Chains A and B, each alone.
Chain A
Amino acid sequence: MSTETKGPSRRQFLTSAAALGAGTVAATATQAAGPDPLITELQDWATGLGAGVDEVPYGLPIRFEDDVVRRNVEWLTADTISSINFTPIHALDGTITPQGCAFERHHSGAIELAKSDYRLMINGLVDRPLVFSYEDLERFPREQHVYFCECAANTGMEWAGAQLNGAQFTHGMIHNMEYTGVPLRTLLAEAGLDAAGDFADKWVYVEGADASSNGRSIPMEKAMDDVLVAFKANGEALRKEHGYPVRLVVPGWEGNMWVKWLRRIEVMDGPVESREETSKYTDTLADGTSRKWTWVMDAKSVITSPSPQAPIAHGHGPLVITGMAWSGHGKITRVDVSKDGGITWETARLAAPGTDKALTRFYLDTTWTGEEMLLQSRAMDETGYVQPTKAQLREVRGLNSIYHNNCIQTWHVKANGEAENVEVS
Chain B
Amino acid sequence: EATGLRFGLGRAALPEEIAAWDVDVRPDGSGLPEGTGNAWDGEALFEDNCASCHGSFAEGVGNWPKLAGGDGTLADEDPLKTVGSYWPYTSTVWDYVHRSMPFGGAQTLSDDDVYAIVAYILYSNDIIDDEFEVSHETLPTIELPNADGFIIDDRAETEYSQWRAEPCMENCKDGVEITMRATVLDVTPDEAVEES
Q: Which residues of A contact B (CB under 8 A)?
A: 67, 71-75, 77-78, 81-82, 107-108, 121-124, 127-133, 136, 139-140, 161-166, 168-169, 185, 188-194, 205, 207, 211-213, 215, 263-264, 266, 268, 270-275, 278-279, 282, 284, 286-296, 298, 308-311, 313, 336, 340-346, 374, 378, 380, 383-386, 388, 392, 396, 399-400, 412, 420-425
Q: Which residues of B contact A424 (CB under 8 A)?
A: 176-179
Question: Within the complex, what minimum Cβ distance (angstroms) separates A12 from chain B?
Answer: 24
Q: Which residues of B contact A279 (CB under 8 A)?
A: 81, 86-87, 92, 96
* Residue of B whose beta carbon sits closest to that of A187: B10
Interface positions, chain B 113-143, Cβ under 8 Å from A, are none
- A207 to B35: give the CA distance in the assembly, Å: 24
- A271 to B30: give the CA distance in the assembly, Å: 12
Q: Taking the complex as formed, is B107 at the interface, i.e. its CB lies under 8 A from any CB of chain A? A: yes
- A155 to B104: give the CA distance in the assembly, Å: 29
Q: Which residues of A contact B13 (CB under 8 A)?
A: 121-123, 129-131
Decide: B3 and A189 in contact? CB cutoff 8 A.
Answer: yes
5 example contacts (A-B, Cβ-Cβ < 8 A) are as follows: A74-B189, A139-B7, A213-B99, A298-B155, A425-B179
Question: Within the complex, what minimum Cβ distance (angstroms) separates A181 from chain B?
Answer: 15
Given contacts A168-B192, A291-B150, contact A380 B183 (CB under 8 A): no
- A213 to B187: give the CA distance in the assembly, Å: 32
Partner of A190, one of B9, B24, B87: B9
Interface positions, chain B 1-21, Cβ under 8 Å from A, are 1-7, 9-13, 17-18, 21
Q: Which residues of B contact A284 (CB under 8 A)?
A: 74, 79, 81
Partner of A278, one of B18, B88, B185: B88
Decide: A291 and B182 in contact? CB cutoff 8 A.
Answer: no
Question: Within the complex, what minimum Cβ distance (angstroms) separates A119 from chain B?
Answer: 8
- A421 to B184: give the CA distance in the assembly, Å: 10
Decide: B196 and A311 in contact? CB cutoff 8 A.
Answer: yes
Decide: B187 and A75 in contact? CB cutoff 8 A.
Answer: yes
Secondary structure at the A interface, as helix, strand, loop or mixed, is loop
> B142-183 toward A: CB 8 Å interface, digit per residue (1/0)?
000000011111110011100111011111110111111111
Decide: A288 and B164 in contact? CB cutoff 8 A.
Answer: no
Decide: A385 and B153 in contact? CB cutoff 8 A.
Answer: no
Q: Taking the complex as formed, is B43 at the interface, i.e. its CB lies under 8 A from any CB of chain A? A: no
Q: Taking the complex as formed, is B191 at the interface, i.e. its CB lies under 8 A from any CB of chain A? A: yes
Question: Within the complex, what minimum Cβ distance (angstroms) separates B183 from chain A?
Answer: 6
Q: Which residues of B contact A392 (CB under 8 A)?
A: 163
Q: Taking the complex as formed, is B188 at the interface, i.e. its CB lies under 8 A from any CB of chain A? A: yes
- A270 to B24: give the CA distance in the assembly, Å: 12
Decide: A289 and B12 in contact? CB cutoff 8 A.
Answer: no
Decide: A162 and B180 in contact? CB cutoff 8 A.
Answer: yes
Q: Which residues of B contact A212 (CB under 8 A)?
A: 100, 106
- A161 to B175: give the CA distance in the assembly, Å: 20
Decide: A121 and B18 in contact? CB cutoff 8 A.
Answer: yes
> B9-46 toward A: CB 8 Å interface, digit per residue (1/0)?
11111000110011011110000000000000000000
Partner of B96, one of A121, A194, A274, A344: A274
Decide: B176 and A340 in contact? CB cutoff 8 A.
Answer: yes
Given contacts A165-B193, A292-B152, contact A132 B9 (CB under 8 A): yes
Given contacts A139-B7, A412-B178, A424-B179, contact A293 B12 (CB under 8 A): no
Given contacts A272-B26, A343-B173, contact A420 B96 (CB under 8 A): no
Q: Which residues of B contact A423 (CB under 8 A)?
A: 178-180
Decide: A165 and B158 in contact? CB cutoff 8 A.
Answer: no
Question: Within the complex, what minimum Cβ distance (angstroms) separates B2 from chain A?
Answer: 6
- A128 to B22: give the CA distance in the assembly, Å: 15
Q: Which residues of A contact B193 (CB under 8 A)?
A: 165, 308-309
6 tightest A-B CB contacts, nearest first: A288-B75, A288-B74, A341-B176, A421-B182, A211-B106, A78-B63
Decide: A384 and B164 in contact? CB cutoff 8 A.
Answer: yes
Decide: A345 and B169 in contact? CB cutoff 8 A.
Answer: yes
Question: Within the complex, what minimum Cβ distance (angstroms) separates A106 from chain B?
Answer: 12
Given contacts A132-B9, A295-B153, contact A422 B164 (CB under 8 A): no
Q: Taking the complex as formed, is B48 at the interface, i.e. its CB lies under 8 A from any CB of chain A? A: no
Partner of A129, one of B12, B63, B179, B180: B12
Decide: B150 and A422 in contact? CB cutoff 8 A.
Answer: no
Decide: B77 and A399 in contact? CB cutoff 8 A.
Answer: yes
Q: Which residues of A contact B178 (CB under 8 A)?
A: 374, 412, 422-424
Decide: A67 and B182 in contact? CB cutoff 8 A.
Answer: no
Given contacts A130-B12, A289-B149, A396-B159, contact A275 B96 (CB under 8 A): yes
- A383 to B163: give the CA distance in the assembly, Å: 10
- A313 to B69: give the CA distance in the assembly, Å: 51
Partner of B155, one of A264, A294, A309: A294
